[in-house]
Amino acid sequence: MRLVSWNVNGIRAVTNKGLFAPFVEELQPDVICLQETKAHQSQIEVELSGFEEHWNSAEKKGYSGTAIFSKVAPLNVTAGFTGFDEGVIEMADAFGDPHSEGRVMTAEFEDFFLVTVYTPNAKGDLGRLTLRHSQWDPTFLRHLKQLERTKPVIFCGDLNVAHTPDDLANPKSNVGKAGYTSEERAGFQSFVDAGFVDTFRLFHEGNGHYTWWSNFSKARERNVGWRIDYFLVSEGLVDRVETAEIHANIMGSDHCPVSLTLKS
């Protein structure tokens, strides 16, 4: 089973460029998780034969959003954080309410949950770092661990953080900047400490493996990038992980897709 995750930075833009269908044809995914769709389902017709479509769009048009397209019919699909005893956990700042931004979807399959996430960006001035560190990351981890009580969890998406110095081309000059603050990195480490495994690192060591590049200074051409898109799995699923890959050759967004292939 091949799972693919891609921050498309606008599904309409990728489709209008004629790049979405070739992406599907090349990677042959069974499940596609998208982030930053920037569209409501009614605004675009995605022609994918044999796939169920599930959308969680932001209330604000042209912003954020996630989607899951699946050949294998999920048992259940939910949007946002669900199942907490206290109900919806309040989470807002000057930029808005992340609950209204379509950032999380969970699909339940027979033997695992699949979660796709578009983590809030800390912003260039770090104006959203407090929300990210003190509210979002802990709440998202609670969501994952609550799901894990029932069955193993796979989560993927744009986590908007480079975890280690090997995950960005210029770590020294980016210390303390958005995507590489100690708070954001600690948030990622909390997933690892809770037992989730960064699947790409099961197969690949060192730097040079990136999933996002700035649109300036020919960064992608020079491979001056960041690895901020991931697949992590519960420890109980590690033995089923066959491959985890970055598909830097696939164009259409400032991010490239990442994939996870599971043994049956």
pTM (2 decimals)? 0.96
Could you give phi then psi for residue 15, rounded to 5 degrees?
A: -65, -45
pLDDT higher than threshold 80 for residue 47: no
Mean pLDDT of 83-108: 84
CB 88 within 8 A of CB 82: no
Q: Percentage of the chain surpassing pLDDT 90?
A: 91
The residue ranking higher by pLDDT, 42 or 110, is: 110
pLDDT for res 30 = 98
pLDDT for res 90 = 77
pLDDT higher than threshold 90 for residue 140: yes
Q: Taking Cα atoms as reference points, which of 101, 113, 164 lies closest to residue 3?
A: 113
> What is the Cα–Cα distance from 168 to 210, expressed in whole angstroms?
7
The helix (run of H) or strand (run of E) holding residue 4 is strand 2-7
Whole-angstrom Cα Rg for the chain: 17
Mean pLDDT of 125-129: 97
Buried b vs exposed e over 234-244: b needs ≥16 C-beta within 10 Å?
beebeebbeeb
Mean pLDDT of 185-193: 98
> What is the Cα–Cα distance from 116 to 204, expressed in whole angstroms?
22
pLDDT for res 165 = 98
CB 156 within 8 A of CB 232: yes
Interacting residues of 126 by C-beta distance below 8 A, sequence separation 6+:
178, 181
CB 199 within 8 A of CB 242: no
User: Residue 12's pLDDT band (boundaries 50, 70, 90)?
Assistant: very high
- Domains (ranges, CATH) in the chain? 2-262 (3.60.10.10)
Q: Using one digit for the tens of pLDDT, what is the confidence trace for 219-259? A: 999 999 999 999 999 999 999 999 999 999 999 999 999 99
pLDDT for res 85 = 61
Query: What is the residue type of 72?
Result: V
Token pair belonging to 107? 């699909």
User: Residue 88's pLDDT band (boundaries 50, 70, 90)?
Assistant: low
Q: Taking Cα atoms as reference points, which of 64, 51, 45 lies closest to residue 24?
A: 51
Interacting residues of 134 by C-beta distance below 8 A, sequence separation 6+:
none
The helix (run of H) or strand (run of E) holding residue 51 is none
pLDDT higher than threshold 90 for residue 132: yes
CB atoms near residue 81 (< 10 Å): 20
Residues annotated as catalytic (active site), given as ranges = 118, 158
pLDDT for res 6 = 98
Q: Percentage of the chain surpassing pLDDT 70?
A: 98
